[in-house]
Structures are given as structure tokens and as C-alpha cells.
Amino acid sequence: MSKALVISGGGSKGAFAVGVIKYLRKNYPNSSFDMFVGTSTGSLIAPLAALNMIDELEELYTTQNTTDIVQKFNIGDRLSENSIMGVDPLWELVKKHYSDDFYSKLQQSGKQVFLATTCLQTSELVIYSNQDQAPSDNYAVRKVETPLQFRKAVLASACQPVFMPPVKVNKEINGAPDQFYQYVDGGVREYAGIEMAIQNGAKEIVAILLSAEKTEVETKEYKDIYSVLEKTISIFTEDVGKNDMVIPMQYNEALKYIESVKRKMKRAGISKEDIDEYFTTSRTPNPFQDKLPLNIHVIRPDHPLGGGPGGLDFIPADMTVMLNTGEEIIEQYIAKLETEGSTWA
């Protein structure tokens, strides 16, 4: 059974996801994933998670300061630039952790990683992957050709537009028609890539969302352009996240409903052939044909994690707390499953 791990965007809040992954790896070592879908900070986590490099993930998300990730400038000096911040430090981290040797091991592992980006020129959600992926009417698919392109896709997915510069993922690919296309954070279009997992055949999905289901009223006043812009983009991203969850969950609920109706019809003595006939029409194709309900686990914090708007504040002590919170939340989630008579596979 194909199983996917989906990690949303959230900057430094990614430490929460690392906590969840760390707990699962320690307590359920036989619970493995075939697919890893990352958006923004999720794209930094997914490849390392695919190779079970938990210690490296924990080090990455509990020791970095903001200056280890971005360069902050005076906003007045950046009006003619394509971003408020620079990402040279982040690029150095990407090159360090996702070396050519790392990419070779990833390819040999057979694990598939999906990296969500947004193309500024086409406005499309573009999903880069280290393997072939299923086509989609809702987003563009691209197969990574080189380790450098993989690193560029990771960086692009993590670069929040306006604050961080767009990335030319295909610049070094000779003959590529989109060499000059610029890519930014996939969270502009897709906060959590559950659809990618479904499209590519996942039957069980663990989705780690880094935003709390309910937001808290803040008591601070925003007094400068930078903080207002930062907060506005954060609100936009959270709204995208809420919308992303609606369709996959409704789709799955519809599948569960159809399955329950079919079981009721079978108990009433209706044959399988007749049941299938009832759910088939000549005019309208059945979008649920041969589809079975998915097992979707949504793991998210029960209160805002901090990290500043958009998770652009990287403070080791705070991220350590986020990591510990991730461990606590997944432990509580699994305990609740067990009280309901289910088990974590």
C-alpha cells in the first residue's frame, strides 16, 4: 500500500514537523513512506526525511538562527531589487545538505519526493519530482534532471515571494524552453500537497500542517510597512491552506459515503453487478469509479507555534519547543486512535 508524507509550508515552524517525524521514526520504525510531498519549508524537510536522516533534520531545525537562513537589509535600499531579503545563507545550507552524493542516494532509495513551486511567468503551480509523476489538470509536472536542478527546486519552493528572491530552476538545463522562468514558494498556490499524493496513488496520507486550526487574536500593533506586509502574506498563506484541505477531505468523505451506500445495497440483496450499474451513467463519467476511501491523518498544532509571521524568525530555543510540541501532538493523536479501536500502521 502506497503511503505518503505531506509537509506544509511554515518556515521555522518546520521544527514541529521534524518532531512528528522523529517520534514516528523512533516508535514506529517499520512505518515507512513511499512518497514525500513538501511545500516551502516542507521541501527542505522532505528529502532528508525520505532517507531517514532524522539527526540531520533535528540539527537543521534547532540550531539555525535567522542570519543562518536569510540576509536582512534596509527595505528602502531594496526597492529596485526582486526581494527584501537575500538567501545566500539558505542556498549554502541547501548545497551542504543536498549534495550530488545525497541526490544519488535518494535516487537509489526508490523514494519519490515532490517539491511544490509557483512559476511567476505562467502563474502555474509546478511540481518538481525526482521521478516520473502522474499528469494533472490542476498543476504542471516536471521531472528533475540533475542534482543542481533538484537543489534549485528545493530553494525555489522555500523562497517566500517579496521577502525572498525568485529562483531560475532550469537556468542550467541546455535547450530548456523555460530557462528564464522564475519560481517561488509553492505555498502561493498550494499550502499542503495532499492532491499530489492522491494523484500519484497514495492510499494512506499523513499530512503535517504547521498552522494551528484556530488562530489567536494578537495584542501587538503593526507599525511599519515591513511588518504589515509580512503579516498580510502570512494571512494569505493560511487562507490558501484552509482551502487546500477542503477539497481532498470532501473527496474522501464522498468516497466513504459511496462505500457505505454500496454496502447497504449489498446487504439488501442487490448484486455487485447491479450496484455498479446504478453508479454508472452513459452521459456523465463517474469521477469515483474504482476509487476507494483513503486513510488521511492530519497532524497539526493545537495552538499557534510562533516563529513570527510566515515563520521567518529562526530562534533555536523556540524551534526546540516546536519540535517537542510535534512529538507530543503525534503521541496524543496515536493514543486517541487506539482508544477508538484503531492502530497506527
Who contacts 96 (Cβ-Cβ below 8 Å, separation ≥6)? none
Neighbours of 277 (CB within 10 A): 11
Give the cell for residue 290.
Answer: 474504482
What residues have CB less than 8 Å from 262, skipping those under 6 apart?
A: 275, 279
Which of 8, 12, 40, 211 is catalytic? The answer is: 40
SS3 for 88-135, per residue? HHHHHHHHHHCCHHHHHHHHHHCCEEEEEEEECCCCCEEEEECCCCCC
Q: Which residues contact 127 (CB under 8 A, 6 or more apart)?
A: 114, 115, 116, 117, 133, 136, 139, 140, 141, 142, 186, 193, 196
157: annotated active-site residue: no
40 catalytically annotated: yes
Distance between CA atoms of 320 and 311, rounded to whole angstroms?
14
Q: Of residues 34, 178, 185, 313, which has the active-site annotation?
A: 185
**Measured between alpha carbons, how far is 303 from 264 in angstroms, rounded to an integer?**
40
Active site amino acids:
40, 185
